[in-house]
Structure 1
Amino acid sequence: MACQQGKTKDEMVVSLQTIKKTHVKPRKKLGRRECQLVTFDLPYLAFYYNQKLMFYKGGDFEGMVAKLKDGLEQVLEEFYQLAGKLGKDEEGVFRVEYDDDLDGVEVVEAAAEAVAMEDLAAEEGTGIFKDLIPCNGILNLEGLHRPLLAIQLTKLKDGLAIGCAFNHAVLDGNSTWHFMSSWAQACGGSPAVSASPFLDRTKSRNTRVKLDLSLPPDPSSLSSNGDHAKSAPPPPLLREKVFRFSESSINKLKSTINSSTPSDGSMPFSTFQALSVHIWRHVTKARDLKPEDVTVFTVFVDCRKRVDPPMPETYFGNLIQAIFTGTAAGLLMAHPPQFGAGIIQKAILAHDAKAIEERNKQWESEPKIFQFKDAGTNCVAVGSSPRFKVYEVDFGWGRPEGVRSGSNNRFDGMVYLYQGKSGGRSIDVEITLEAGVMEKLQLDQEFLEP
């Protein structure tokens, strides 16, 4: 193992050797193509690149890399936007620009041969991932001069790590895993992707919004009087941990919360709502909030079937919106779980085509670029989805040994839900919390074993 004596896996010092950097383009010439970014895309310009890490068993690193790059050339013929860059038209409207002369997708080959699979499979921490995934701390706005997709293929002691950084202004989670599964199909010998991406974003929204955005100054730069700029107070120490909920635990959560018929006429609670309120209540408990403190629940909802007219599942881009709801911590904890689940359900059901349209019009009249951490007070913010078949992404050497998010776009209360590694209806819950709160949560047996 690569752990030094007395070090946790999150504090590992990785000896990484960069072998070479190349760029991969679509196999066919496609000419010049442009696609306007729309209202669903633009708010994510101030987020960071979305990072995913997958690791696989295998000993033929060179052969695996060759297959991955060959498949990437093929799949980029349809997902060519990922081989482009951000740009602006003559009116200052952001767009994706593709041209055959652009560099394409950046692919770095590296080796960290002291790192084993078991190091990456640890349920806690993401510090080690920073060496294995590109674009740490890189804003999506930097896609004006950076690749929209950067990939690092790292040789491990007993396998291969695939670290991907996607520009979040260009695609959401649904589109990310559509691309990943299509890439795997290409590597598996499929002559064409099973579901072509729907690339015309203006079908979802055609309002042209001009944004005057520039990159923030480097905080390490000198101030105008020659002194070093005042440093901001250090952020709170955060910890990340994966909590694995088995199929039986998920079934128990859902059946328990639906055991009593709601008196207000609400629908039965979904698996998502049952698990979400379980997380929300126990994180709130671990935070030891005052009864009058407000706690916010935020979820990034897929709007493909909610907009009018509905968009296809293969819509490529961002078609998500953040939904915010909340209550006093005392009310959330004093009532049974059905109370919090009802709040979540009501907010999700209310976010219909009319609500989406109103949100878009309001934003277009007064665009506000939020930072990734603006999810609310004492929040629990849920992203990703267990519906994404992440453990079915097989490039030709079996299912991944693990799937994780990188260190970007993390803040106190951020939650990623993934298809459970153990299969069935199991769900893996990746949570970021302040260190003291995480310590309490992982000792909460009612949370761990519902």
Structure 2
Amino acid sequence: MASELLKLKILEKSHVKPREKLGKKECQLVTFDLPYLAFYYNQKLLFYKGDDYEGMVKKLKEGLSVVLEEFYQLAGKLGKDEEGVFRVEYNDEDDAEDGGVVGVEVVQAVAEADVSVADLTVAESTNTLKELIPYTGILNLEGMHRPLLAIQLTKLKDGLAMGCAFNHAVLDGTSTWHFMSSWAAICCGSPTVSAAPFLERTKARNTRVKLDLTLPSADPLAGKSNGDVKQAPPPPVLREKIFKFSESAIDKIKSAVNERLPSDGSKPFSTFQALSVHIWRRVTYARNLRPEDYTVFTVFVDCRKRVDPPMPETYFGNLIQAIFTVTAAGLLSASPPEFGASLIQKAIEAHTAKAIDERNKEWESAPKIFQFKDAGVNCVAVGSSPRFKVYDVDFGWGSPENVRSGSNNKFDGMVYLYPGKSGGRSIDVELTLESEAMARLEEDEEFLMDL
């Protein structure tokens, strides 16, 4: 269904702050956070069934005001201290009339067309769902002047669409779903947050890095003119699609990559490694690459248990790093799947506390703000995780009917993994790919595994 057919009407816009006064609080952004300032807000979209929109919104806003007492950083804004070091600033006294950012932005809207939850959950592309998620095309750096979390609650014929935009310079996926599950628990009657967020980012890294960044007048991720009058070629046409791998399909993929494991005590490949190499090999094939072309696999690794000392699972912020492995397309395709799985496994296992520390020191000596092109040539990049319990986010009216990513931070080869709604070991693969390659992948029986 085309987005224009939603006929969205904005009903109300408000800002929700922590229920209790907290005063003035500041928290320095650290090396794990800063590289994401030029990414876009991280968008999530959840669909719920229900027939009491007003009651659902009331409960959500009341629960939000309670959960923000612990997750108050999401009600703040980005700022800089006197030395130019970025930080999160929260102040009860910030006043919207003074141009300050006050709390979490909540927009209430209604789809005036006769649109049901089912109509939207079958949509392949988030391009058709853009109107349901705030802050499309908004850089994290704009958090200096915008809320760090924006939520849109859209009334549908038989339910509600919850579009969320999180400032990615402030938190990663683990922290995002920690917040969402805590908010849901409050709405279901929990008096307090059962697992309070660990807010001391400097315990993970305490190097102060000054960045001279200001909001761009144009998209910094677009090509810049260098006096050459030639126009940049138009970007490739991308398509998004969700491939739903059943529990049995996942088991087949994992068994296939482990069946020739040598009996020398080699570590078996994990479900993540098996599925990743399955995607990497078949996407490489669908791209019709030459045998000598390089292809890169990128994964954003959670470093909470890898840093020294380890950080708690409740660490609130970014504690991820992108790691890369590269090989020739012909070698990846001609070799058995355990070849690529071994490359991924070795890259992940090599990302020790020492490697993380060296990466941080290197970045701090010459800070580099990430751009999409940094993911690598002919890249397959995996974000999110099937370990995130996204279908447990129940605010009191049942599990979400569907969970999606928005269109921000997507490029050719970007993959988001989610647990399948059917539960068990099923996994949903949300993939963005150049349209011709996607068409070939859709016909690839070896990839589809009888989907």
TM-score, normalisation: structure 2: 0.94
Q: Tell me whether 1:107 sits opposite 2:106 in the alignment.
A: yes
Residues in 2 aligned to 1:16 and 1:263: alpha-carbon distance in whole angstroms: 60
Residues in 1 aligned to 2:122 and 2:323: alpha-carbon distance in whole angstroms: 31
1:214 Cα deviation from its structure 2 partner: 1.5
2:9 to 5, 13, 17: 17
Q: Which runs of 5 or more residues in structure 2 are unaligned?
A: 95-101, 220-228
Residues in 2 aligned to 1:230 and 1:179: alpha-carbon distance in whole angstroms: 47
Q: In structure 2, what residue type is equivalent to 1:307?
A: V
2:81: which partner in 1? Answer: 89
1:78 to 70, 87, 104: 70
Q: In structure 1, what residue type is equivalent to 2:249?
A: S
Q: In structure 2, what residue type is equivalent to 1:313?
A: E
1:231 Cα deviation from its structure 2 partner: 6.4
Q: List aligned pairs for 1:400-439, cutoff 5 A.
A: 400-439=400-439
Alpha carbon RMSD of aligned pairs, Å? 1.5
1:371: which partner in 2? Answer: 371
Q: List aligned pairs for 1:299-314, cutoff 5 A.
A: 299-314=299-314
* Secondary structure, aligned partner of 1:250: helix
Residues in 1 aligned to 2:56 and 2:404: alpha-carbon distance in whole angstroms: 20
* Secondary structure, aligned partner of 2:6: coil
Q: Percent identity?
A: 76
Residues in 2 aligned to 1:245 and 1:259: alpha-carbon distance in whole angstroms: 20
Shift of the 108–380 alpha-carbon distance from structure 1 to 2, 3 Å rule, reads: same
1:336: which partner in 2? Answer: 336
User: Residue by residue, what CA displacement relative to the aligned partner does 1:237-290 show, whole Å, maximum 9, x if unpaired?
Assistant: 100000000011111111121111237864110000000000000000000100
2:42: which partner in 1? Answer: 50
1:247: which partner in 2? Answer: 247
1:158 Cα deviation from its structure 2 partner: 1.3
1:13 Cα deviation from its structure 2 partner: 3.2
Q: List aligned pairs for 1:266-345, cutoff 5 A.
A: 266-345=266-345
User: Residue by residue, what CA displacement relative to the aligned partner does 1:190-223 show, whole Å, maximum 9, x if unpaired?
Assistant: 001110000000000000000001122237xxxx
1:32 to 12, 19, 24: 24
Q: Which runs of 5 or more residues in structure 1 are unaligned?
A: 1-8, 220-228
User: Residue by residue, what CA displacement relative to the aligned partner does 1:373-428 show, whole Å, maximum 9, x if unpaired?
Assistant: 42000000000000000000000000000000000000000000001111111000
Residues in 1 aligned to 2:53 and 2:210: alpha-carbon distance in whole angstroms: 45
* Secondary structure, aligned partner of 1:13: helix
Is the contact made by 1:293 and 1:328 (CA closer than 8 Å) also made in structure 2?
Answer: yes
Q: List aligned pairs for 1:201-220, cutoff 5 A.
A: 201-218=201-218
User: Residue by residue, what CA displacement relative to the aligned partner does 1:343-366 show, whole Å, maximum 9, x if unpaired?
Assistant: 000000000000000000000000
1:110 Cα deviation from its structure 2 partner: 0.2
Shift of the 431–12 alpha-carbon distance from structure 1 to 2, 3 Å rule, reads: farther
* Secondary structure, aligned partner of 1:440: helix
* Secondary structure, aligned partner of 2:193: coil
Q: List aligned pairs for 1:128-207, cutoff 5 A.
A: 128-207=128-207
1:224: which partner in 2? Answer: none
Q: In structure 2, what residue type is equivalent to 1:416?
A: Y
Is the contact made by 2:3 and 2:130 (CA closer than 8 Å) also made in structure 1?
Answer: no
Q: In structure 2, what residue type is equivalent to 1:324?
A: F
1:98 Cα deviation from its structure 2 partner: 0.3
* Secondary structure, aligned partner of 1:374: helix
Q: Tell me whether 392-401 or 118-127 shows the greater mean CA deviation.
A: 118-127
* Secondary structure, aligned partner of 2:161: strand
Residues in 2 aligned to 1:264 and 1:365: alpha-carbon distance in whole angstroms: 42
Shift of the 298–350 alpha-carbon distance from structure 1 to 2, 3 Å rule, reads: same
1:235 Cα deviation from its structure 2 partner: 1.1
Is the contact made by 1:134 and 1:163 (CA closer than 8 Å) also made in structure 2?
Answer: yes
Shift of the 123–449 alpha-carbon distance from structure 1 to 2, 3 Å rule, reads: farther
* Secondary structure, aligned partner of 1:53: strand
Q: In structure 2, what residue type is equivalent to 1:338?
A: E
Is the contact made by 1:14 and 1:128 (CA closer than 8 Å) also made in structure 2?
Answer: no
Residues in 2 aligned to 1:374 and 1:268: alpha-carbon distance in whole angstroms: 30
Q: Tell me whether 240-249 or 256-265 shows the greater mean CA deviation.
A: 256-265
Q: Tell me whether 81-90 or 105-114 shows the greater mean CA deviation.
A: 105-114
Is the contact made by 1:247 and 1:425 (CA closer than 8 Å) also made in structure 2?
Answer: yes
Q: Tell me whether 111-120 or 199-208 shows the greater mean CA deviation.
A: 111-120
Q: Tell me whether 173-182 or 364-373 shows the greater mean CA deviation.
A: 364-373
1:232 Cα deviation from its structure 2 partner: 4.4
Residues in 2 aligned to 1:257 and 1:343: alpha-carbon distance in whole angstroms: 13
1:11 Cα deviation from its structure 2 partner: 6.0
1:222: which partner in 2? Answer: none
Shift of the 89–206 alpha-carbon distance from structure 1 to 2, 3 Å rule, reads: same
Residues in 2 aligned to 1:259 and 1:417: alpha-carbon distance in whole angstroms: 24
